[in-house]
Amino acid sequence: MADAPTPKPWIDAIHAYVPGKSTGADGRPLIKLSANENPLGCSPAALAARAVEPQRYPDPDSTALRAAIAQVHGLNPARVVMGTGSDELLNLAAQGYAGVGDEVLFSRFSFSVYDIAARRCGATPVVAPDADFGADVDALLALVSERTRVVFIANPNNPTGSFLPRGEIARLHAALPADVLLVVDQAYAEYLAPEDDDGALALAEAHGNVLVTRTFSKIYGLAGERIGWATGAPGLIATLNRIRGPFNVSNTGQAMAEAAVADQAFVTHARDHNRAERTRFVAALEALGNHGLRPLPSEANFVLILFGGALTAETAYNGLAERGYIVRWLPGQGLPQALRITIGTARQMGDIAAALREMAEAAK
Ligand code: PMP
């Protein structure tokens, strides 16, 4: 028999994305605070919009959904493209603009899909050093070469929660050559107060080389439906439309997202809940500073905690699992000293803070 087909060497080099687990070692279901999902679920209007004809293909252009998104954000619907989650759009952006011999640049401790997106199309990922776990514009700019084709920045960033203000995004964009695509991944942007907008949507409207991606997976609470969108100049949108799946958002997904985006009261409620619980959780963690715990400042729906004392991140991860909570431990992303915990309900966050205190005191 002939040998099995050989994958391309750049595909062979990819480390598959490892999602957070949702069961314990014994198979028990755990309360999942490992994937930055919305603890409040989704808008009731979105749930009610579910029933549509499953035997029919969806609208290939997601026309009504794009119009609803454009209206809420003051965009031209012709400049909006939908994806099967924003993951698809991040991958398409790399595929559309980078290939073998090219470089794709991003910061250390940013979203792990950027590395996969670069390698999938044969490009070389280039990783810039961070500044105290956040993106560093000067470090990114220092690594721009004539081979750089795409720069990814998550703002707010996953997994650290850090945020680059408007001036830093503008400075990064202004210093990039016009033929380099800047992708601003705003998966967590709705968690920011509106006045803290990083200005990327305006840059995408004004310039030919800025793509902004958003998702319905986070504040809209529709992660299971796989719906993301991107906006940018007509040329960028045309490229993504040429290479995306023709029916890449399902009937149900389109209907639910359209209802969800029309319910901005739910978004405001989820943002307020997140801010209040995150503030309370961070204050409880800061009180454990003498045990070596350090929560990083977060603008998103999770907090990254660094463990520098007798209680290690691994022990805390296992201890929380014993108490029924699955959170994200990140040794595979160069952060063996850190746990990323999604902001859940008030009761869940109170439980977790109390458990961390108990474990930190026992570890002394
Ligand atoms: N970007 C960032 C920064 C994320 O954290 C995530 C989800 N983990 C995504 C994009 C992708 O989300 P989705 O594909 O569900 O839209």
65-80: average pLDDT: 98
User: Residue 359 in contact with residue 323, Cβ under 8 Å?
Assistant: no
Q: Chain-wide mean pLDDT for the chain?
A: 96
Label residue 17 left, alpha or beta by phi (over 0 means left) and psi (-120 to 50 means alpha).
beta
pLDDT for residue 25: 67
Instruction: Dump pLDDT digits (tens) for 232-286.
Output: 999 999 999 999 999 999 999 999 999 999 999 999 999 999 999 999 999 999 9
Closest CA to 103 of 81, 84, 137, 127: 127
Encoded tokens for 89:
């759009």
* Residue 150 β-bridge partners: 104, 181
Residue 1 pLDDT greater than 60, yes or no: no
Q: Does residue 228 have its Cβ closer than 6 Å to ligand 1?
A: yes
Rounded to an integer, what distance in angstroms lies between the CA atom of residue 278 and that of residue 36? 13
* Residue 103 β-bridge partners: 124, 148
For 159, list phi and psi in degrees, rounded to 5: -100, 10
pTM of the model: 0.96
Query: How far, in Å, is the centroid of ligand 1 from the Cα of 87?
Result: 6
* Full strand arrangement of the beta sheet holding 293-295: 293-295, 302-307, 335-342, 328-330
Residue 8 pLDDT greater than 60, yes or no: yes
Query: How far, in Å, is the centroid of ligand 1 from the Cα of 357?
Result: 31
340-344: average pLDDT: 98
What DSSP line would sit under 133-185, residue for residue?
A: TB--HHHHHHT--TTEEEEEEESS-TTT-----HHHHHHHHHHS-TTSEEEEE
Residue of 18, 33, 42, 87 best suited for mutating to test ligand 1, as the one with most atoms within 8 Å of CB: 87
CB-based contacts of 184: which residues, under 8 Å, 6+ apart?
Answer: 153, 155, 169, 198, 200, 203, 204, 210, 211, 212, 213
Instruction: Dump pLDDT digits (tens) for 89-120.
Output: 999 999 999 999 999 999 999 999 999 999 99
* Dihedral sign for Cα atoms in the order 304, 112, 323, 277: positive
Give nearest CA residue, ligand 1 atom 4: 187
In percent, the amount of the chain with pLDDT more than 70 equals: 98
pLDDT for residue 2: 66
